[in-house]
Amino acid sequence: MDTTIAVVGGGTMGAGIAQVAATAGHPVLIYDSGEGACARAIASIRLGLDRMASRGKITREQAEKANDCLAPATSLQELACAGLVIEAIVEQLPAKQELFGKLEDIVSPECILASNTSSISITRIAASLRHPQRLVGMHFFNPVPQMELVEVIRGLASDAAVVQCVHDTALAWGKTPVFASSTPGFIVNRLARPYYAEGLRVLNERASQPATLDAVMRESGGFRMGPFELMDLIGHDINFAVTQSVFQACFNDPRFTPSLIQQELVHAGHLGRKTGRGFYHHGPEHVPPPIEDELPCSTPPVALQIFGSHPLVEVIRKRYKKGHVEYHGARADNLLLKAGPGRLYVTEGRTATQQSYDYDMPDVVLVDLALDYATTSRLAVTRSDQCSPRAYQAVAGVLQACSFALSPMDDVPGMIVMRTVCMLINEAADAVNQGVCSAADADMAMQKGLNYPRGPLEWANAIGVDNVVKVLQRLSATYGEDRYRVSPLLQRLQAAKRKFHE
């Protein structure tokens, strides 16, 4: 650990990177051209180390050793001794190219140059250098000391040995590094786009309100935050700018089309928590908006027929005590239960109304995908326009009797969890198919970088690749948009009857 690490940029990200390197035992030099920026960064790092020691994350001795490793640099020339320089300055291509051009004349030929950029092409940054092979991306996530993920990004000219060295360095620092090629959004910022985009699309179609959709994504989907509260936390200016950047860099691929709803929030200055208003009002005086719950359906016990071995069926078998239950084998139409005239299915990408039409069956109720039906407390439900109140009440009453809170949605294809998860899967499959990353790294990146409850390709295996393809095909048929085109890799796995990671 005697290699000197230099960090250029004393902001939140630069200070976090410097703290991690110092905690690992490296001598660390911090340079920032702003007056007093280095001193502020070192003070912030020392405060962070003290907090970690107070919480037992590291020992007092480790904190003191890390403090001793830190030193400010008053000029770029003082970084000549560094074996690795990590840039964490403003997200502007000219500024980064100018910095690395200067560093080439200062550091040794063996020194590795790394950029913490979250969106700018590593290939493009390196193009202006005399020795582009020694530049790689080393994208950390905020807050750096807590977040495990590091995206190690190889540009077109990046030397394989240099990329591997940066990967191994991040691993030695206790991080979880994943390899990515230099494409728009890398892994996380690319694969995460559908999480916001599908929520915004469902909201635009007035299927429900943000608070209810967020609750369903948390409680049923297992995500730590719903898309609307997460966008409020990130800031709509930042989130919208990243979406625009990926959209434009991908030559206006409709899969990444920005949302007019979010654009309006940005134009209004409603940027989320930092301005006090976004999809939600923020502040001590504001009461959180209510989550829409279906009223109790006081229906008499009905003779219940349940079908197949779907996880939700197994939960109903164990919990439903109100009446006689008949169990039958799986049906070709994937029916889960009959309660009176009502019939319950898991959404397969069509609207309930379309499914009623296709099956020539009026009383169709759909339930959304859940991470784990046995542990979830909430399910989203919708019904066809042809469905009678009596049929809906019967089905909803059974689910409520099984201790599920129900969030009613208007009838949109794929509901909210299913369509979002399938689009996350589709984007991850395309990234793997295009050589952006491996399947394992795609799943690892989304779990470690965004705290997803399950990697998108692990989701595909759980749902079934065939079912994912059907959902996407039906979304595509409904909207008639290239946005929902099915990844060639998904189609290939479907035809081969294979899973990911096999």
Whether the predicted pLDDT of 300 surpasses 80: no
Q: Mean pLDDT across the stretch 159-175?
A: 98
Over the stretch 16-54, which tens digit does the pLDDT of each residue have?
999 999 999 999 999 999 999 999 999 999 999 999 999
Residues 6+ apart with CB under 8 A from 28: 4, 5, 6, 7, 18, 21, 22, 69, 70, 71
Kindly indicate the confidence band of residue 119, based on its pLDDT and cuts at 50, 70 and 90: confident
Are 348 and 332 in contact, with CB atoms under 8 Å apart?
no
Pair of tokens at residue 281: 């009002």
Catalytic residue among 151, 198, 219, 427: 151
Whether the predicted pLDDT of 203 surpasses 70: yes
SS3 state of residue 105:
coil
Q: What is the pLDDT of residue 324?
A: 78
Residue in the structure block whose two tokens are 């198919």: 433
Q: What is the pLDDT of residue 160?
A: 98
Q: What is the pLDDT of residue 262?
A: 98
Whether the predicted pLDDT of 231 surpasses 70: yes
Whether the predicted pLDDT of 11 surpasses 70: yes
> Is 118 one of the catalytic residues?
yes
Catalytic residue among 189, 220, 426, 467: 189
Pair of tokens at residue 15: 């200070």
Whether the predicted pLDDT of 255 surpasses 70: yes
Strands (E), 329-466: 337-339, 342-346, 364-367, 378-383, 405-408
Are 110 and 83 in contact, with CB atoms under 8 Å apart?
yes
Q: Mean pLDDT across the stretch 97-111?
A: 97
Classify residue 321 by its DSSP letter. Answer: -
Residue in the structure block whose two tokens are 């020339």: 77
> Is 139 one of the catalytic residues?
yes
- Of 270, 243, 239, 278, the C-alpha closest to 257 is 243
Kindly indicate the confidence band of residue 134, based on its pLDDT and cuts at 50, 70 and 90: very high
Percent of all residues in the chain with a pLDDT value above 70, rounded to a whole number: 99
Q: What is the pLDDT of residue 128?
A: 95
Q: Mean pLDDT across the stretch 117-143?
A: 96
Pairing of strands 342-346, 364-367: parallel
**Neighbour-count burial of 2, counting CB atoms closer than 10 A to its CB (0-12 exposed, 13-18 middle, 19+ buried):** exposed
Q: What is the pLDDT of residue 168?
A: 97
Q: Mean pLDDT across the stretch 420-448?
A: 98
Q: Residue 245's CB: how many other CB atoms inside 10 A?
A: 19
Q: Mean pLDDT across the stretch 194-219?
A: 98
Q: What is the pLDDT of residue 337?
A: 95
Kindly indicate the confidence band of residue 301, based on its pLDDT and cuts at 50, 70 and 90: low
Alpha carbon separation from 76 to 3, 33, 43 (Å, rounded): 17, 9, 21
Catalytic residue among 115, 116, 139, 458: 139
Q: Mean pLDDT across the stretch 213-238?
A: 97
Q: Mean pLDDT across the stretch 79-105?
A: 96
Q: What is the pLDDT of residue 303?
A: 78
Q: What is the pLDDT of residue 323?
A: 73
Q: Mean pLDDT across the stretch 404-417?
A: 98
Over the stretch 306-351, which tens digit does the pLDDT of each residue have?
999 999 999 999 999 877 789 999 998 999 999 989 999 999 999 9
Q: What is the pLDDT of residue 298?
A: 73
Provide the whole-model pTM: 0.95
Q: Mean pLDDT across the stretch 291-312?
A: 88
Over the stretch 351-409, which tens digit does the pLDDT of each residue have?
999 999 999 999 999 999 999 999 999 999 999 999 999 999 999 999 999 999 999 99
Q: Mean pLDDT across the stretch 60-65?
A: 93
pLDDT-wise least confident of 78-82, 169-173, 264-268, 300-304: 300-304
The chain-wide mean pLDDT, for the chain, equals 95
Q: Cα separation of 380 and 398, whole Å?
A: 14
Q: Mean pLDDT across the stretch 485-497?
A: 98
> Is 324 one of the catalytic residues?
no
Q: Mean pLDDT across the stretch 119-140?
A: 96
